[in-house]
């Protein structure tokens, strides 16, 4: 696995990117953590980054924002004409309690935005070259065993309490498939793991705060696997998939080496120079999740996912191991 990481040299990657013409990227629902991360990474080297958002008056430098509601066709459709890529990131945050109203919103926000983007692309005279639609690494079955590649088993596990998350993920991907066929537009599914970045609102910010409060010990048994990817590699993988004319279908966006929760928290403590981290039992997590209005599944499900297709196609990870990723993130703060 480690040897695969360096199959394609970084110089070759940069040369390939430099040869590409300037691009116009559309980020649908791009005002959140991932959207801002992508916008800042792409904007210096692209002609234009356009964010489709329900809050068009909210400045997100260095992008241009355009109003949409994620459900209906409108003036925003014109932005898709001639675009290099559409990246759909829309969807209500899963960091909430899964009561009936939130469930409806989580599901509808993903299905509606995917469906309406498909309709808009179908109407384009000069459609985008590629449409990348978000999904989640949570779609794979909870496991302590072998890692899941893009052909991994999909399904819920009572222990993980993930039935609703699997329902969302499979419905989301089904809506994306049913939006086609789009002969002039490649379609790519992004099964993304936990993205570690310094942009405000990310999970790295939360985990580091817990560690600094000396609460960064193992969570539950600590055996559950954590799949992750450095924000820079996330952005670079998106650029790679845009630039590769044969890349389509499902891709796992995750670093090659997932870690257990216990090892993940230990690595963050070491990066922060903090020796002590109090562990949290499952019952403590249940209470904490209730008070913080979230769900323990986000912590206790074992997500062991590997990016087999990216590695096989020669994508060069900058940060294939967690210590490398954390050391770099530390320098950005």
pLDDT tens-digit profile of 79-95? Answer: 999 999 999 999 888 88
Token output for 61: 């430098």
Helices (H) and strands (E) in the chain, counts: 12, 11
Encode pLDDT of 127-138 as tens digits.
999 999 999 999
Pairing relationship of beta strands 259-260 and 225-226 according to DSSP bridges: antiparallel
Give the model's confidence band at 20: pLDDT under 50 very low, under 70 low, under 90 confident, else very high: low
Q: Residue 12 is inside which H or E element, if any? A: helix 10-19
Encode pLDDT of 151-188 as tens digits.
999 999 999 999 999 999 999 999 999 997 899 999 99
Provide the strand spans (E) within the chain.
Answer: 24-28, 48-53, 64-67, 85-88, 130-136, 186-192, 194-196, 225-226, 228-230, 249-253, 259-260
Encode pLDDT of 251-310 as tens digits.
999 999 999 999 999 999 999 999 999 999 887 888 876 767 778 888 899 999 999 999
Instruction: Provide the terminal-to-terminal Cα distance of the chain, rounded to the nearest Å.
Output: 30
The span from the CA of 95 to the CA of 118, in Å, is: 27
Peptide bond into 181 cis (omega under 30): yes
Homologous superfamily of domain range 2-331: NAD(P)-binding Rossmann-like Domain (3.40.50.720)
Triad 294, 51, 99: Cα angle to 5°: 20
Which of the residue ranges 46-55, 197-206, 264-273 has the most confident prediction, judged by mean pLDDT?
Answer: 264-273
Burial 212-231 (b: 16+ CB within 10 A, else e): eeebbbbbbebebbbbbbbb
Query: Residue 206 contacts by C-beta under 8 Å, 6 or more apart in sequence?
Result: none
The span from the CA of 326 to the CA of 44, in Å, is: 24
Tell me the domain boundaries of the chain: 2-331
Mean predicted confidence (pLDDT) in 29-55: 88
Look at residue 45 in the predicted model and tell me its pLDDT.
Answer: 66
Pairing relationship of beta strands 85-88 and 130-136 according to DSSP bridges: parallel
The structure tokens 């559950």 sit at 224
Question: Closest Cα partner for 89 from 161, 182, 192, 159?
Answer: 192
Look at residue 22 in the predicted model and tell me its pLDDT.
Answer: 74
Does pTM top 0.75 for this prediction?
yes
């Amino acid at each position: 696995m480690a040897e695969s990481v360096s199959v394609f040299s970084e110089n070759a990657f940069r040369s390939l990117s430099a040869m590409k013409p300037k691009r116009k990227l559309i980020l649908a629902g791009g005002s959140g953590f991932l959207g801002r991360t992508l916008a800042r990474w792409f904007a210096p080297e692209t002609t234009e980054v356009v964010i489709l958002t329900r809050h068009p008056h909210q400045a997100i430098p260095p992008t241009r924002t355009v109003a949409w509601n994620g459900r209906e066709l409108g003036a925003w459709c014109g932005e898709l004409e001639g675009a290099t890529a559409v990246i759909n990131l829309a969807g209500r945050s899963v960091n909430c309690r899964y009561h009936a109203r939130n469930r409806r919103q989580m599901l509808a926000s993903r299905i509606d935005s995917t469906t309406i983007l498909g309709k808009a692309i179908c109407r384009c005279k000069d459609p985008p070259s590629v449409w990348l639609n978000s999904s989640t690494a949570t779609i794979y079955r909870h496991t302590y065993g072998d890692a899941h590649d893009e052909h991994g088993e999909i399904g819920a596990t009572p222990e993980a309490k993930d039935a609703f998350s699997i329902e969302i993920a499979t419905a989301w991907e089904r809506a994306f498939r049913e939006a086609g066929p789009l002969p002039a537009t490649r379609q790519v599914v992004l099964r993304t793991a936990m993205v570690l970045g310094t942009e405000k609102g990310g999970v790295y910010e939360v985990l580091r705060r817990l560690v600094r409060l000396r609460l960064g010990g193992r969570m539950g048994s600590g055996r559950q696997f954590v799949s992750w990817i450095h924000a820079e590699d996330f952005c670079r993988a998106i650029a790679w998939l845009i630039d590769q004319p044969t890349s389509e279908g499902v891709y796992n966006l995750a670093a090659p080496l997932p870690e257990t929760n216990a090892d993940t928290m230990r690595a963050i403590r070491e990066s922060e120079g903090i020796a002590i981290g109090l562990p949290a039992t499952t019952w403590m997590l249940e209470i904490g999740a209730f008070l913080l209005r979230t769900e323990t599944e986000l912590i206790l499900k074992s997500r062991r996912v590997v990016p087999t297709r990216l590695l096989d196609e020669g994508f060069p990870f900058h940060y294939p191991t967690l210590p490398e990723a954390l050391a770099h993130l530390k320098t950005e703060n």
